[in-house]
Amino acid sequence: MNILGIETSCDETAAAVVRDGRDVLSNTILSQIKLHAPYGGVVPEIASRNHVEALPHVLETAIGDSGLDWDAIDAVAVTYGPGLSSSLMVGMAAAKALSQSLDRPLVAINHLEAHLYSIFLDPDLPDPEALGPLLVLLVSGGHSCLVDVEALGRYRLLGQTMDDAAGEAFDKGATLLGLGYPGGPQIENAARAGDPTAIDFPRSRQRKLTARVGDLDVDCCFSFSGLKTALLYYLKKHPAFDLADVAAGYQEAIVDTLVARTRDGLTKSGHKVLAAVGGVALNGRLRLKLEQLAQEEGVRLIPAGRAYCTDNAAMIAGLAGAGRGLRGADAMSADANPNLCVAAS
């Protein structure tokens, strides 16, 4: 089963061909980072307009790189949420049109579920059933959550951010520091020469059972807005700040917060496998500290492959190949859902 995947939920225009859910034949990603960088974040109108312009070429490249002809495509999979609605609509319109013109079924995929699945694009990993239950730390520019994955399709959201996502905390921190967008790699780079203990930024956590916590486990919820404010005040108080030390301290606070909540998630779920997915899972300091956590807790850590951490279409086609997603009339009538939740799958 060769599935063509399309992903346009945010600022990456991506298409990929994946065979039988695991074998990535091609993975084309056109990043719009340079177009959004002057604004310090993604501008929805610019993103959707560029998806329209880039998608035909990205699709042709994905098919060309796969070594297959259009005829060999058995289904078309597309992200239908969450994300920017105007961006999602571009990919969905293209996928619906392709499904009809190729006379192949359409599969509508939840972007967050696809991030959870991204670890399985590593050919050395066993199938989801063989791997068993796992705890997934999903950290990206739009989302930060801990998900208890009992099996493929059986998810329980344990906790999530109460305000900014981890990637957003990196991006906003970088803006305050005068670094470029996206902020994660910039802060990681600046932090290399710094001392992570030189400045003690707050590791704030959610303690109150607010309406936003709802049914979630408060011990598995994150909060980053206080940290961002602490950085703002630090910079005001120390105009001649040491960039490397500030970046290292700020990164350390984000990483420590994620690792502490993940530790609680492991204790509560009792799972012996931990996965880290999403753009922030590229962060070397986070990977190192999760590795230490895994050793201390006696669990196996599976970070997503570096090519599959940030948004990509291989995870969309892969998840569809694993039998997930809306199909038939449900897929054809699906609207873009900007607020789709991970547990809605």
For the chain, the residue count is 345
11 binds Zn ion (CB under 5 A): no
142 near ligand KG4 (CB under 6 A) = yes
CA dihedral 87, 89, 92, 93 (to 10 degrees): -120
Contact between 252 and ligand KG4 (CB under 6 A)?
Answer: no
**DSSP characters over 156-205:** EEEEEBSSS-HHHHHHHHHHHTT--SSHHHHHHHHHTTS-TTSS-----B
Residue among 171, 217, 252, 264 that touches ligand KG4 (CB under 6 A)? 171
The answer to whether 280 contacts ligand KG4 (rule: CB under 6 A) is yes
- Residue 308 phi/psi, 5-degree rounding, is -115, 10
Nearer to Zn ion, 140 or 206 (CB): 140
Candidates 7, 164, 188, 219: give the one binding ligand KG4 (CB under 6 A). Answer: 188
Task: Kindly state the smallest distance separating residue 139's Cβ from ligand KG4, in Å.
Answer: 8
Distance, CA of 223 to CA of 209 (rounded, Å): 13
Q: Are strands 144-151 and 154-160 parallel, antiparallel or unpaired?
A: antiparallel
Place of tokens 């791997």: 131
118 lies in the site for Zn ion, by CB under 5 A: no
> Nearer Cβ to ligand KG4, position 104 or 143?
143
List the alpha helices (DSSP H) in 42-182: 44-66, 85-102, 111-117, 128-131, 166-176
User: 2 or 9, CB closer to Zn ion?
Assistant: 9
Would you count residue 310 as binding ligand KG4 (CB under 6 A)?
A: yes
DSSP code, position 222: B
Q: Which does 167 bind (CB under 5 to 8 A by kind): ligand KG4, Zn ion, none?
A: ligand KG4
Which range binds Zn ion by CB under 5 A, 46-54, 58-66, 225-233, 311-319?
A: 311-319
With CB cut-offs between 5 and 8 Å by kind, which of Zn ion, ligand KG4, none does residue 160 bind?
none
Does position 264 interact with Zn ion (CB under 5 A)? The reply is: no
Minimum distance from residue 26 beta carbon to ligand KG4 (Å): 19
Is 253 an interacting residue with respect to ligand KG4 (CB under 6 A)?
no
Residue 140 binds Zn ion (CB under 5 A): yes
Q: Which two tokens stand for residue 19?
A: 């065979």
User: Judged by CB under 6 A, which of 5, 21, 141, 303 binds ligand KG4?
Assistant: 141
The b-or-e profile of 178-199 (16+ CB within 10 A means b, else e) is ebebbbbbbbbebbeebebeeb
Q: Which residues contact 115 (CB under 8 A, 6 or more apart)?
A: 138, 140, 143, 277, 278, 304, 315
Scanning 126-134, 167-175, 260-268, 333-341 for contacts with ligand KG4 by CB under 6 A, the matching segment is 167-175
| Window 313-342: residues binding ligand KG4 (CB under 6 A) | none
Q: Answer whether 28's CB lies under 8 Å from 61's CB.
A: yes
**Least distance in angstroms from the C-beta of 288 to ligand KG4:** 12
The site for ligand KG4 (CB under 6 A) is made up of: 10, 140-142, 167, 170-171, 182-185, 188, 278-280, 282-283, 310-311
